[in-house]
Chain A
Amino acid sequence: MGLTLSLLLVGALALVAYALSGNMPAVFGIWVPYAASTLFLVGMVYRVIDWARSPVPFRITTTCGQAKSLPWIRSEPLESPSGLISVLGRMFLEVLFFRSLFRNSKADVHGGPKLVYGSSKWLWIFAMLFHWSFLVTFIRHLRFFTEPVPFLVTLAHSLDGIFEIGVPALYITNALILLALSCLLVRRIIVPHLRYISLLTDYLPLIMLFGIVLSGVIMRYFVKTDVVAAKKLIMSLLVFSPAIPDGLGAAFYIHLFLVCVFFALFPVTKLSHMAGVFLSPTRNLANTNRVKRHINPWNAPVKVHTYEEWEDEFSDRLKAAGYQLERD
């Protein structure tokens, strides 16, 4: 159901942009992008502040390797960090290379019973493919947002098209991201337990991204959108004197509209994991619990059973058993 609905929703969004952008380019070219950027920026900042407002009362690092303890025991700082540097290392691996996902395995129960754990790197591969392609695509798009275009952006752009297949040159990431999205989607549909846990909000971003990539591809290779005009529009938005140039077709507006909706959804959906991953206490805290005292801001006094109360309660037995008492 979530899948069908996602398809319908994305289809409807594309249709709206297709049908209406000709008549009201200002809405689709100016107001929607402004609104979406505001929702994205304000929303994400609010999200992060809101998370950060809740304190981290305890240091609950998940240790995935030997801690630093005695000097002659080899520790694994990237799995059980002992300070800031190793935390940064751990987070670096986690955020850029999905370290934890790389560990993934698959459990099977055979007759006997006998349990077998297979290596299962598929999810990691798909996730890496997707996120890295997305990142490169994103960087590549910055050439529409900058003047002069920074070297790194040009580099990403030319590297991505390095194979020079077709005119204009095919982007490697176009192919890779479509592949990754298909794999992630197929996985969600055919793996029984994934299908069982999937919600509308799991299918929707995938389908939206499909729509975004496809409309982008169509624009570039088939209906040939005027990139100069596109850049003009974006630059005019950036300097807050928006003006709609001529020559932007429906494909462009569909692409832009889907991108806008996608980013507007970030703060209110699971897409917020992009920021959340940095805040996860099981990963971003050093395992220095016994080295440094961690302070809990709401650490309230509690009712305890003091030694004196205990001694009073058991004083006969304590005496009979020959214990030394405080109150003799």
Chain B
Amino acid sequence: MALKLRHDEVMNFDLRPSGKGWMDTKPEFSKGTYCFSGVRKHVEYLEQPNPREWQPYDDDWKLPERWEETIIKGFEDRLSRFRSFKLFMDICVRCGACSDKCHYFIGSGDPKNMPVLRAELMRSVYRKRFTAAGKILGRLVGARDIDEAVLKEWFYYFYQCTECRRCSVFCPYGIDTAEITMIGRELLNMVGLNINWIIEPASNCFRTGNHLGIQPHTFKDNIEFAVDEIESITGIRVNPTINRRGAEVLFIIPSADIFADPHIFTFYGYLTLFHEIGLDYTFSAYASEGGNFGLFFSHEMVKRLNAKIYAEAKRLGVKYIIGGECGHMWRVMHQYMDTMNGPAETKGDPVSSITGTRFDHARATKMVHICEFTSDLIHHKKLNLDPSRNDAYRVTFHDSCNPARAMGMLEEPRIVIKSSCNNFFEMPENTIREQTFCCGSGSGLGTDENLEMRMRGGLPRANAVKHVHDRHGVNMLSCICAIDKATLPALMDYWVGGVEVCGVHELLGNALMMKGEKERTVNLRGEELAAKEKSNA
């Protein structure tokens, strides 16, 4: 899947809005800028409101009777349940500091993609319905009532926000438009407005345990396939287990890791690492997904899908949990899981049996990020690494939004990368760490039909990669997120060219010198290592 539009056709805008006021313009549902609606059977399976056949490009969205009331009641309810939401409705001063911080605005020039206006879409209705000034003075104070056109506008722009929180970093009051989008999507869902790329994975996950709907026997087959591959590359047969009671560690990954390309190479990395250090761990086929697409449409669904993790940790009697490379999964694990489904009932504390390190910063949730776990091994020199095996790669690192802005995990992945390869180059400082730019396809927007918007939203990220590609010959974009791995390759092909995408633990797996391994002639991707020493001499 590639976008047919030429670069100059995409860049046909100016970042300076002009013309009619924003209340007088309405979005056009043109191909490539929105996602298809939730498929009925999945909406029904999850028992979500108003299942029906409809599409965003239809004129008639088949809204339920008295939908306005539902929305306003839902609005009121959330004002009383989320201080963030209530406060963010009141205190924005429209200073504009957030305006050009959003990748969708930078890539589309659409003024309603400025975080401040995205929030005003809801704030205007808030003023009309919940403030005296808005009720009396109306438009004069930026108030307007909800109607079908406004609802469609919400749908359009709340599905053009990847909940990346970059705007929140720059706002003097910390107003987090992602929070507003999340609640906006929750309201939309109450009247049956959702998108299939979110509903289907959520429904699959609820039923089978993972987004892709992989059933337990296939889950096992895929892991065995990986074991065979690893054996042919390293000569070592690793021995992962599934649903094993009494293991020390439950290992949770985003399910794409055992299925998709290039995720699977990261998966090889995990398995070789765990084998090498002799970690006593198990997968779960019931909790075979760390990702949580519930996050992209309702707090309730986050909790429903996430419940499996602690339930399984308890059933299997593990000591603690390690989580793989995934961005939004870690938003949930770090900021929601313990509150929603805790306290964790594990048989022990998060302590690395290899280094003895007690992961005190995870003592309540009992869940450690694999980059934390691995950087601890590296710090204690428990791994034998030959970074020259990655010499064919000139690597940069994309901070995924959630680990960066919701966990504050910036150094750990860098420690792993720098120990695993010789050629590492940072992108410009306005585009990394807490200021990192989204891949443009997060929060459930990574579908093919939404490709134009994804390429637009991904432009700032791609542009920064292009900078290091041109300057340092960077050809490998590493990251710690399954959505990134799924969507960055298309973004790189469109805007940059000649840059591949990998997980951090793929680099580690390449560099890892395992006891008793045969001489490696290929890397985890099966590519020849032959000229590696000289290639960068």
Contact = CB atoms under 8 A, between A and B. Distances in A.
Interface of A: 5, 47, 50-70, 72-76, 79-80, 94, 98, 100-101, 103-109, 113-115, 117, 123, 127, 191-194, 196-202, 268-270, 272-273, 276-277, 279-283, 287, 289-296, 298-299, 302-307, 310-311, 313-314, 317-318, 320-324, 326
B69 to A, nearest CB: 21
Contacts of A199: 94, 141-142
A318 to B, nearest CB: 5
Given A65-B408, A123-B95, A280-B173, A192 B80 contact: no
A304 B308 contact: yes
Q: With a 10 A CB-CB cut-off, give which of A104, A287, A290, A292 has the most chain B CB atoms.
A: A290
B212 interface: no
Nearest to B380: A72
A281 B84 CA distance: 6
Contact of A108 (B15, B82, B339, B411): B15
Nearest to B284: A307
Interface residues of B, number: 117
Contacts of A79: 408, 434
Contacts of A107: 15, 100-101, 106, 460
Contacts of A326: 315
21 contacts: A51-B86, A52-B83, A58-B339, A60-B335, A64-B408, A65-B408, A67-B361, A103-B169, A104-B97, A193-B100, A197-B117, A270-B90, A272-B90, A277-B173, A281-B174, A283-B173, A293-B338, A293-B343, A293-B364, A302-B300, A326-B315
Nearest to A277: B173
A62 B83 contact: no
Contact of A305 (B308, B315, B334): B308
Contact of A197 (B11, B94, B431, B463): B94
How would you classify the secondary structure of chain A's contact residues: helix, strand, loop or mixed? loop
Contacts, number: 305
Given A66-B409, A202-B94, 7 more contacts: A47-B90, A55-B81, A61-B406, A191-B96, A200-B142, A276-B87, A305-B207
Contact of A68 (B299, B303, B361, B375): B361
Contact of A192 (B17, B97, B339, B434): B17
A148 to B, nearest CB: 37
B96 A197 contact: yes
A70 B84 contact: no
Nearest to A321: B217
B534 to A, nearest CB: 34
A203 to B, nearest CB: 10
B430 A117 contact: yes
A113 B206 CA distance: 42
B315 A307 contact: yes
Given A289-B335, A290-B365, A293-B338, A123 B97 contact: yes
A319 to B, nearest CB: 10
A323 B316 CA distance: 14
Contacts of A104: 97, 170
A271 B173 CA distance: 13
A198 B175 CA distance: 17
Contacts of A127: 95, 172
